[in-house]
Chain A
C-alpha cells in the first residue's frame, strides 16, 4: 500500500470542495447552500493543515484559525439575512429571491 502523502490530502480536499460546489449549484434551500459553503471552507482548512504538516511549520494552522473566524462571521451574517428575507417573503427558496435580478 502506498504511504499517505500530501497528494492524498489534496485529493480529499478537492473532492470535499467540489461536493460543496455541487451543493451550492444544485440545491435551492438557502440554508443548505450556506452549509455547502461551510463544507468548502473546511476543504480549504484540510489543505492548510496538510501543508503545515508537510513543511513542519505552524503558520498553516494560524491561517486555519483565521478561516474559522471568517466562517463564523459569514454564518452569522448569512443567517441574519435569511431571517430578514424570510420575514418579508415567507420562503427560503433562492429561486424566489428575484428582487435584484433582471
Chain B
C-alpha cells in the first residue's frame, strides 16, 4: 500500500514536471522544471533499489548537464522571442495526435502482457542492498571495453564542444 502510494506520487510528479518542461514559455523556467524532474526520477531509482544510479542521476544530470544548459541560455541573448517566426509547413497538432496514438499503442502492449493469463511477469522485488558493488564489478570486468569506449566518447565530445564553441569558427 505504501509502496503503491510512493510510486503513484513519484510518477505524478515526474509526468507533471515533464509536461511543464515542454509547455513553459520561459526557457529558464523550463530548465528549473527539468531539474525537479531529474530529482524525482532519482528518487524513483532509489525507490527501486538502485542507489548508485540515483546518485549518478543527481550528480551528472541535475548537477552537470543542467548547469551547461543554464550557461548556454545566459550566453544566447534572445533579442526576439524564439517562437516569433513560424514555418507554414510545420504540423504541430498532427505530430501531437500521432504521438498520442503511439502512446496508446505502447500502453496497450504493456497492458496486454499484464492482463493476459499465465504471462509469468512477477512483481518487482527489492534488489539486495549491495548492488553498488555488483555494478562496479560488472563495469570493470564484463563491460570494460564499453567503459573505455564511453570514456573515449566523452573525450571526443569535449574536444568537439570546445572546437564548436570557439569564436573563429
Hey, which bits of chain A sit against chain B, CB under 8 A? 1-12, 14-23, 25-32, 34-36, 38-39, 42, 45-46, 49-50, 52-54, 56, 58-59, 61-62, 64-66, 68-77, 79-84, 86-87, 90-93, 95-96
How far apart sit A81 and B38, CA to CA, in the bound complex (Å)? 24
Contacts of B121 in A (CB 8 A): 5-7
B152 to chain A, nearest CB (A): 10
Q: Which residues of B contact A82 (CB under 8 A)?
A: 72, 76
Q: Please measure, in the bound complex, the distance between the C-alpha atom of A85 and the C-alpha atom of B116, giving whole angstroms.
A: 51
Given A25-B96, A35-B31, A95-B87, decide whether A69 and B153 contact each other with a Cβ distance below 8 A.
yes
Q: Is B18's CB under 8 angstroms from A34's CB?
A: no
- Chain B residue numbers with a CB within 8 Å of A17 are 106
Q: How large is the interface on B (under 10, 10 to 19, 20 to 34, 35 or more residues)?
A: 35 or more
Is B131's CB under 8 angstroms from A22's CB?
Answer: no
- In chain B between 42 and 80, which residues have their CB closer than 8 angstroms to a CB of chain A? 44-45, 48-50, 52-53, 56-57, 60-61, 64-65, 68-69, 72-73, 75-76, 78-80
Query: Judging by beta carbons under 8 Å apart, are B41 and A46 in contact?
Result: yes
Contacting B69 at CB < 8 Å: which of A6, A20, A31, A61?
A31
Check A18 against B146 for contact (C-beta < 8 Å): no
Task: Give Cα A36–Cα B68 distance, bound, in whole angstroms.
Answer: 15
- Count how many pairs of residues, one from A and one from B, have CB atoms less than 8 Å apart in the complex: 241
Bound together, the chains give a CA A57 to CA B41 distance in angstroms of 20
Contacting residues, chain B, for A39 (C-beta < 8 A): 18, 21-22, 34, 37
Which residues 127-165 in B have Cβ within 8 Å of A in the complex? 127-128, 131, 134-135, 138-139, 143, 146, 150, 153-154, 156-158, 160-165
Smallest CB–CB gap between B128 and chain A, Å?
8
- Select B7's contact among A8, A53, A61, beta carbons within 8 Å: A8
Whether a CB of chain A sits under 8 angstroms from the CB of B117 is no
**CA separation between A83 and B81, bound complex, in Å?**
17
C-alpha gap A70/B153 in the complex (Å): 8
Given A11-B110, A18-B100, A21-B99, 6 further pairs, Cβ under 8 A: A42-B61, A46-B44, A53-B48, A69-B154, A79-B69, A92-B76
A46, B110: Cα distance in complex, Å = 15
Nearest B residue to A32, CB-CB: B30
Which one of A45, A61, A70 lies within 8 Å of B135 (CB-CB)? A61
Among residues of B, the one whose C-beta sits closest to the C-beta of A79 is: B72
B92 beta carbon closer than 8 Å to chain A: yes
